[in-house]
Amino acid sequence: MQHNLPNLNVIDLFLKLLSFESITPDDAGSLAFIESYLPGFESIYVNEGGVKNLFMYKKFGEGDHLCFAGHVDVVPPGNNWESDPFVPMIKEGKIYARGTQDMKSGVAAFVQTLKEVETFDGILSLLLTSDEEGDAKYGTVIMLEHLKQIDMLPDYCIVAEPTCEEKFGDAIKIGRRGSINGYLTIQGKQGHAAYPEKAINPVHQIAPLLDKLAGIDLDNGDEDFAPSKMVITDIRGGMEVTNVTPGELKIMFNVRNSTKTSQEDVRMHIDNVLKGLDYTLELTQGSYPFVTERGSKVVENITKSIKTVTGVDTKLSTAGGTSDARFMGAFGIDVVEFGVINDTIHAPNERTSIEEVEQLHKVFVDLVKHF
């Protein structure tokens, strides 16, 4: 049951959210608090595998459906904190606590925006999970599957991950690269180092080919993405002795791929380079690339709102790792990411400034007003 809680300002709300010890996948009661904070919004929970997922929405008009999305879970605090990571400390205009940047600042900013909104030509919603920092198997993706079943998928989405680089407002994410992992095993024939002619040494086989594998661009990139690059992360073979040649050599690699390179492209590259060798190759993909068109309504509108609030011309970026925005892209939702400066996430003494959180709130208010 929802209870109409007092209307806090965005910083008060932020401090409250930081006090929940919501280490993945435990939301620690934060989702129930947010639900109670937004009376008038309908709530849907889809919970599975110890993960809680909350979707809240309110129909104001017949226009577009704009969703704010994010996660309430945080990584474990670790050591070397100068204060209690779940008791927010304010010092010289900055707030210190686990989750300040990643990403309770973003959650506070859009929850407060939804609390204050009075009119909108369409549907406003939020989607929150308690499992973004973990495997995400039972997180945002299963809520999106449910929303698709009930015909409630958003048209546009803002994921409030920390995206800014040097100053607030300088970067938004309009896409992300995917991540392909490769496990390559080259088979040889073990033998005595004194009789190399009787062995097949996979190290010797790969040596003249290694520069065709290591650090290779698999495409030329484009306006949105840098080239997809094959990066070798581990090579090992042999028995750690000096008189036995290895029977096999194992290579691990990663490709942060754009929309121009697929698993099949990677496999074809390996086949071309290692033609004639006895090897096996396994490829897995942890995330898939996506990009939202630069002319999309959500890209243009949030860019304008950032400029209005901060005076900064924002950069459209696809750099960095991954986030739950990848799931939005997979469901055909135009999605962008925008939040505070990203420089202390997952670190001891994680912090963000009061000014950034207040400005983020103002950007979201302006976005909703003019969307």
107 CB-near residues (< 8 Å, 6+ apart): 17, 34, 70, 71, 72, 128, 160
For the chain, give the percent of residues with pLDDT over 90. 94
| Mean pLDDT value across residues 326-353 | 96
Q: What number of other Cβ atoms are within 10 A of residue 306's Cβ?
A: 26
| Mean pLDDT value across residues 343-357 | 97
Q: What is the pTM of this model?
A: 0.87
Closest by alpha carbon to 317, among 176, 161, 158? 176
Report pLDDT for 1: 44
For 161-198, give one letter per residue: b (16+ CB within 10 A) or e. bbbbeeebbbbbbbbbbbbbebebebebeebeeeeeee
Name 214's bridge partners.
Answer: none
Active site residue 324: no
Element (H, E) at 140: helix 140-149
55 CB-near residues (< 8 Å, 6+ apart): 43, 44, 45, 46, 125, 126, 127, 128, 143, 146, 147, 152
Report pLDDT for 243: 96
Half-sphere exposure at residue 131, Cβ-oriented, CA atoms within 13 angstroms: 19
Report pLDDT for 74: 97
Q: Which amino acid is at 6?
A: P
User: What 3 state SS string does 257-271 have?
Assistant: ECCCCCHHHHHHHHH
Which among 35, 131, 132, 366 is annotated as catalytic?
132
Which among 27, 73, 133, 356 is annotated as catalytic?
73
Backbone angles phi, psi at 233, to 5 degrees: -115, -15
Measured distance CA(95)–CA(317) in Å, rounded: 27
Active site residue 132: yes
Measured distance CA(107)–CA(145) in Å, rounded: 22
Residue pLDDT, tens place only, 179-228: 999 999 999 999 999 999 999 999 999 999 999 998 899 999 999 999 99
Report pLDDT for 4: 56
3-state secondary structure of 327: helix
Q: Which amino acid is at 38?
A: L
Res. 319: pLDDT tops 90: no
Answer left, alpha or beta for residue 106, where phi above 0 means left and psi between -120 and 50 means alpha. alpha
